[in-house]
Amino acid sequence: SSYSDYVIKREEQLEQQLAAYENQQKQIAQIERFIERFRYKATKARQVQSRIKQLEKMDKIEIDELDRASIHFRFPQAPPSGKIVVEIKNLSKSYGGKAVLQNIDFTLLKGEKVAFVGRNGEGKSTLSKIIATSLDHEGIFRLGHNVKIGYYAQNQSELLDLNKTVYETLDESAKGEIRTRLKSILGSFLFSGEAIEKKVGVLSGGEKARLALAKLLLEPVNLLVLDEPTNHLDMLSKDILKAALLDYSGSMIIVSHDRDFLQGLTTKVIEFKQHHIKEYLGDIYDFLSSRQMDTLQEPNHENEINQYNQTERQSQNKIEYEKRKSFERKRRKIVSQIEKCEQEILATDKEVAEMNIQLAHPDKFKDIIYSKNFFDRYDYLKKKTERLMSEWEDLHLLLQELEQSDLTNS
């Protein structure tokens, strides 16, 4: 019928619209990460201003409100649990003799939603993994009565079977009545039509993250432990996830650096710092206000060079001098790689932005829809941007680890 044809065409149009929207949102997120990271660095002021102007001039792709309203999901009703969900006393954890957590006390009550915040390497993911998987530790850790955990690890999407399809990934884990609703669940995570038959191996990072989150809906749980759940998600997917978490009736622990995502989502914040934790009542903005901070990314002072005592033996000074030279040499190499990577990202982003403008205009879209070279180039640039951003983030982590190692050995 004509109505059936309309529905099919409308679905195809929505899929194209969503794909273009997701690509642009991914680009926006990358630009915003760049701005957030380098906003207060004088040497990057020009590049930061360029990125801000790029965002302001960007012709935003919008999704029809009717379609946006239809994209949502709810977590299953949380089964009842005891009043105390998690109880931790005097807990410690070390890796290779290096302490990560020391003498931690923490209690999570039924219905509480808590944010774990702090710099990388302070133990947030470690404690969440102990709670979710009973990772080896010292001290007391107990789960309450009838606690059922849904766990999303930082690398959860990397654990998916690349040879299975999107649908098979859910189908292999689903049991009972919920198997009849798998397509509906996948639709809530922006997988519809032919997309559910795609192999996991060809999905983007954001698509894999959404699929991994979808698996959490397959059985009711009363404690969600989510470690950086918004990594790789575009703005629309973040909004959908946040709305579902606001409605979720169980207890929840979220590890995140995303202050906008956390806003209004939790009633307590646990800060991880120097192997210990400190509790703050309220949501993330109450925490930031009490700490007089604007962002969850604290200033990094790890690159400060220790001033050695003038009376130290000359031989010791020589050893330290050689170590310092080695550190600075390694650091300069990484910084140079970062700067090169940033220049490539700028060039690639500029070309993608120009192509997105063409995709956002229906008249131009009609002209290019049959141009294989255009879409081949577009796909190549998207993958290149993902690779460059991944490389950029890896280099910053490498730099942070180097500076942390230097601080530890000082």
Tell me the pLDDT band of 105, cut-offs 50, 70 and 90.
very high
Alpha-carbon span 45 to 54, nearest angstrom: 14
Alpha-carbon span 213 to 71, nearest angstrom: 15
The pLDDT, as a whole number, for residue 338 is 84
Mean pLDDT, to the nearest integer, of 8-28? 69
The pLDDT, as a whole number, for residue 241 is 86
Unique residue bearing structure tokens 């709305």: 243
Name the least confident of 58-67, 123-132, 226-235, 321-330. Answer: 58-67
Residues composing the chain: 410
**pTM summary value:** 0.57
In the predicted model, what is the mean pLDDT of the chain? 80
Candidates 275, 150, 172, 154; CA nearest to 216 is: 150
**Percentage of the chain modeled with pLDDT above 70:** 81
317 Cβ neighbours under 8 A, 6+ residues apart? 308
Name the least confident of 35-39, 183-187, 214-218, 265-269. Answer: 35-39
Res. 138: pLDDT tops 80? yes
The pLDDT, as a whole number, for residue 177 is 78
The structure tokens listed for 116 are 């774990």
Decide: 61 and 356 in contact? Cβ < 8 Å: yes
The pLDDT, as a whole number, for residue 305 is 26
b/e for 376-409, b at 16 or more Cβ within 10 A? eebeebbebbbebbebbeebeeebbebbeebeee
Res. 77: pLDDT tops 80? yes
Tell me the pLDDT band of 308, cut-offs 50, 70 and 90.
very low
Decide: 27 and 351 in contact? Cβ < 8 Å: no
Name the least confident of 133-142, 149-158, 359-368. Answer: 359-368
Residue type, 145: H
Alpha-carbon span 57 to 51, nearest angstrom: 10
Tell me the pLDDT band of 265, cut-offs 50, 70 and 90.
very high
pLDDT top residue among 113 and 178 = 113
Res. 289: pLDDT tops 90? no
Give the pairing type, strands 251-255 and 223-227.
Answer: parallel
Q: Where are the domains of the chain?
A: 2-70+307-409, 84-290
Which tens digits make up the pLDDT trace of 366-390?
A: 667 667 788 788 888 888 887 888 7
Q: 99 - beta bridge partners?
A: 94
What CATH code would you report for 84-290? Answer: 3.40.50.300
Which tens digits make up the pLDDT trace of 231-255?
A: 877 777 788 888 889 989 999 999 9
The structure tokens listed for 72 are 């949502």
Mean pLDDT, to the nearest integer, of 345-363? 80
